[in-house]
């Protein structure tokens, strides 16, 4: 404003009020503030004249100058508050929630994996029979995975086509079964002993509806005085009846395992085809459920157990196989897909 210095104080106040009342943004308000209240404004120049006035003129001029300054500042503050409120309302309106819109759905609760469910149930069954839970490493030595379990040096299971060896150190591998926990438990706790152990195992298997190179196994071991094959059969039948809530058709077939003698395979009738044969059971009508037998005396003797006094039974079962039977899962690969549609079926099962 080039002629601002020529205005009287009354005219200056009137012009400032009119200017402030016309602005509608923070930017234009700041420009008006600098023009009328800034260091180079006429108001500041008028204040500097005070030193040139006489003692009689100063009070009169000073009072008038203060009234003008207060009027301008009061108008500035009022306009500033109005603009800030307007901008705040605009922001609030832009961020407002429309209460007529559908609500945000709640977070979907998680679900236990079927392998977790069946493991928990199996552990509870065997704990009722006096078994405790033991554990062992997934990275094992050949001694515990094979030698201590009476497995000959030339046994096919030791071959790299069946077992995953590591480069950590010579004769170190990913355990192919939970059976090494038998030896660890016997060495650690001695006898009499009732333990179960569950965990991951690794075998070089082809991938299909029934097999995976990575799966979960559960080991059962009982070593006491006077244990016979009849004790083994009763324990397995009780376990399966408790797990499935009814008597499920099973059969025991003679078999061979290096660490048990005599040995047997336990099959369960396929729940999908009721024994007629399908892709899940490979057309046999039965699903191989677990291997079992009486603990070979050589295994007990290597663990420093007196075989003239103690005997025992052992069994190893695939948790995926049991879960397939119990929950009606036709393909073992479903356990490892992380498909939420598959996992949601087990919500609330525990």
Indicate if the pLDDT at residue 350 is higher than 60: no
Instruction: Please report where in the chains the tokens 């052992």 appear, as a residue.
Output: 314
What are 162-194's pLDDT values in tens digits? 899 998 888 899 999 999 999 999 999 999 999
Indicate if the pLDDT at residue 26 is higher than 90: no
Angle at 59 between CA 53 and CA 63, to 5 degrees: 115
Look up residue 70 and give its two tokens: 């207060």
Query: Residue 337 carries which DSSP code?
Result: S
What are 227-263's pLDDT values in tens digits? 999 999 999 989 988 998 888 788 899 999 999 999 9
Q: Is residue 253 classed as helix, strand or coil in its secondary structure?
A: strand
Q: How confident is the model at residue 124 (pLDDT cuts 50, 70, 90)?
A: very high
* Residue 37 contacts residue 20 (beta carbons within 8 Å): no
C-alpha closest to that of 173 among 157, 193, 189, 194: 157
Contacts of 152-156 spanning 24+ positions with Cβ under 8 A: 152/258, 155/258
Q: Is the peptide bond before 262 cis (omega within 30 degrees of 0)?
A: yes
Q: Which residues pair with 313 in a beta bridge?
A: 222, 294
> Measured between alpha carbons, how far is 198 from 243 in angstroms, rounded to an integer?
16
What is the structure's pLDDT at 2?
Answer: 43
The CA-based dihedral angle spanning residues 38, 40, 41, 46, taken in that order and rounded to the nearest 10 degrees: 120
* Residue 334 contacts residue 341 (beta carbons within 8 Å): no
Backbone angles phi, psi at 328, to 5 degrees: 70, 40
Rg (CA), the chain: 43
Fold of the 114-346 domain = BirA Bifunctional Protein; domain 2 (3.30.930)
Q: Is residue 24 classed as helix, strand or coil in its secondary structure?
A: coil
> Measured between alpha carbons, how far is 76 from 81 in angstroms, rounded to an integer?
9
H helix runs in 156-255, sequence order: 180-189, 229-244
Percentage of the residues of the chain whose pLDDT score is greater than 90: 41
* Residue 335 contacts residue 115 (beta carbons within 8 Å): yes
Evaluate the CA torsion angle 131, 133, 137, 138 in order and state its sign. positive
Task: Kindly state the average pLDDT of the residues 144-159.
Answer: 91
C-alpha closest to that of 193 among 102, 244, 132, 253: 132
CA 217 to chain centre: 22
Backbone angles phi, psi at 18, to 5 degrees: -60, -40
Q: How far is CA 154 from CA 123, 150, 151, 280, 332, in A?
A: 35, 12, 8, 32, 31
Q: How confident is the model at residue 3 (pLDDT cuts 50, 70, 90)?
A: very low
């Amino acid at each position: 404003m080039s002629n601002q210095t020529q205005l009287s104080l009354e005219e200056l106040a009137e012009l400032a009020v009119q200017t402030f009342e016309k602005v509608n943004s923070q930017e234009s308000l700041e420009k008006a503030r600098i023009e009328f209240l800034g260091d180079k404004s006429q108001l500041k120049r008028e204040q500097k004249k005070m030193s040139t006035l006489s003692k009689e003129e100063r009070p009169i001029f000073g009072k008038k100058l203060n009234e003008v300054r207060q009027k301008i500042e009061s108008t500035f503050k009022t306009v500033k508050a109005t603009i800030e409120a307007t901008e705040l309302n605009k922001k609030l309106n832009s961020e407002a929630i429309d209460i007529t819109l559908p609500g945000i759905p709640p977070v979907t609760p998680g679900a236990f994996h079927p392998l977790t469910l069946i493991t928990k149930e199996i552990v509870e069954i065997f704990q009722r029979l006096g078994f405790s839970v033991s554990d062992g490493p997934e990275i094992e030595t050949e001694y515990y995975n094979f030698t201590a379990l009476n497995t000959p040096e030339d046994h096919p299971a030791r071959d790299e086509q069946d077992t995953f060896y590591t480069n950590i150190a010579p004769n170190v591998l990913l355990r192919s079964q939970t059976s090494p926990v038998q030896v660890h438990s016997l060495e650690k706790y001695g006898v009499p002993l009732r333990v179960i152990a569950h965990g991951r195992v690794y075998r070089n298997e082809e991938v299909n509806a029934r097999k995976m190179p990575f799966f979960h196994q559960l080991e059962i071991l009982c070593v006491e005085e006077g244990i016979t094959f009849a004790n083994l059969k009763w324990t397995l039948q009780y376990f399966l009846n408790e797990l499935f809530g009814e008597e499920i058709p099973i059969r025991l077939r003679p078999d061979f395992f290096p660490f048990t003698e005599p040995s047997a395979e336990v099959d369960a009738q396929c729940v999908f085809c009721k024994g007629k044969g399908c892709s899940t059971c490979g057309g046999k009508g039965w699903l191989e459920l677990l291997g079992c037998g009486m603990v070979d005396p050589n295994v007990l003797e290597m663990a420093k157990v007196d075989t003239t006094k103690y005997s025992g039974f052992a069994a190893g079962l695939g948790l995926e196989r049991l879960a397939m039977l119990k929950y009606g899962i036709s393909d073992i690969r479903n356990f490892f897909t992380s498909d939420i549609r598959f996992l949601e079926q087990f919500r609330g099962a525990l």
